[in-house]
């Protein structure tokens, strides 16, 4: 791509390319990709837009733009995502942490806890954010994907939380030992019928095992409800992220086991997003 001599000229040609590819925020993404290509913090890019764009920077920018035109998520291209005020490594082996998942973190922090279990931990963003906010707590993150667990472990090292964060390969509660006063999960919940309507960034680039359990999308909640009583301490809390149409169905699943105080919390747009419950006192 012939961009001219400066970063500003490169941006002027990059934005229409991304817009034509269907990228939702082409100007924002072009700036972030240029900053990444130049090794700059995004808030420093404006200071360097008139600098000459050297060949190696141009090559990195071209490669990043080509990936974004293919609708690869921005976080996968640059390799990180900001979540709960911290930067997490993101790869195609894990879900891209969403802003609405921060609602789960905020709800979990409403009460103290000492031991947290994160089911389907992925990048580890939920559990590690909780541990970073609670210096006395420890946690276990489990996932079926060994590649996802490698990402989570790397994030724990990066955030200096390895001494308090453990990770294990597990199918939900299989192999989980001990008990916990907090259990959190953003499980796969997209139904078969909904998969085709997902944005290309999600449908084509994120791991399907973390997106959908197939069928009606509720299989993970049934599995969690079936096993939670064996590891959640009396009075302990369970917090689950849900799809915006699943609140009542997930609440009903949890009501069928040893859980009470069930509540549904909204996201930023007022849609159901988190179901919370508490283990009954024995």
Q: DSSP letter at 102?
A: H
The domain spans of the chain are 7-70, 84-279
CA dihedral 149, 152, 156, 162 (to 10 degrees): -20
Residue 43 confidence (pLDDT) above 50 = yes
Phi, psi of 138 (to 5 degrees): -125, 165
pLDDT per residue over 88-141, tens digit each?
A: 999 999 999 999 999 999 999 999 999 999 999 999 999 999 999 999 999 999
Residue 2 confidence (pLDDT) above 50 = no
Q: Which residues pair with 184 in a beta bridge?
A: 118, 239
Percent of the chain with pLDDT over 70: 98
pTM value is 0.94
Distance CA 260, CA 11 (A): 54
Residue 3 confidence (pLDDT) above 70 = no
pLDDT per residue over 155-189, tens digit each?
A: 999 999 999 999 999 999 998 988 999 999 999 99
| CATH, domain 84-279, list 3.40.50.150, 3.30.70.890, 2.60.60.20, 3.30.70.1090 | 3.40.50.150
Distance CA 20, CA 36 (A): 21
Q: Enumerate residues 6+ apart whose C-beta is below 8 A from 279.
A: 228, 229, 232, 233, 234, 235, 236, 237, 238, 258, 259
With vertex at residue 50, the alpha carbon angle to CA 44 and CA 56, rounded to the nearest 5 degrees, is 80
């Amino acid at each position: 791509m012939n961009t001219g001599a400066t970063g500003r000229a490169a941006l002027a040609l990059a934005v229409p390319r991304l817009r034509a590819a269907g990228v939702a925020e082409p100007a924002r993404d072009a700036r972030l990709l240029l900053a990444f290509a130049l090794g700059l913090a995004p808030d420093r890019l404006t200071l360097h837009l008139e600098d000459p764009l050297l060949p190696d920077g141009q090559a990195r920018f071209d490669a990043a733009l080509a990936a974004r035109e293919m609708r690869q998520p921005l976080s996968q291209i640059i390799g990180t995502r900001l979540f709960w005020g911290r930067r997490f490594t993101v790869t195609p082996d894990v879900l891209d942490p969403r802003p609405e998942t921060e609602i789960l973190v905020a709800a979990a922090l409403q009460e103290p806890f000492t031991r947290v279990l994160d089911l389907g931990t992925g990048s580890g963003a939920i559990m590690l954010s909780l541990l970073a906010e609670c210096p006395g707590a420890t946690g276990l993150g489990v996932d079926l994907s060994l590649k996802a667990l490698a990402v989570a472990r790397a994030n724990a090292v990066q955030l200096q939380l390895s001494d308090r964060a453990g990770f294990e390969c597990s199918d939900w509660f299989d192999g989980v030992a001990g008990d916990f006063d907090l259990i959190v999960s953003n499980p796969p919940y997209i139904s078969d019928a909904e998969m085709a309507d997902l944005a290309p960034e999600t449908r084509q680039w994120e791991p399907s095992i973390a997106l959908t359990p197939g069928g009606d999308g509720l299989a993970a909640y049934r599995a969690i409800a079936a096993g939670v009583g064996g590891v959640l301490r009396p009075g302990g809390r369970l917090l689950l992220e849900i799809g915006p149409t699943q609140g009542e169905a997930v609440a009903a699943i949890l009501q069928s086991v040893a859980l009470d105080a069930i509540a549904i919390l909204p996201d930023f747009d007022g849609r159901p997003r988190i179901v919370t419950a508490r283990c009954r006192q024995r």
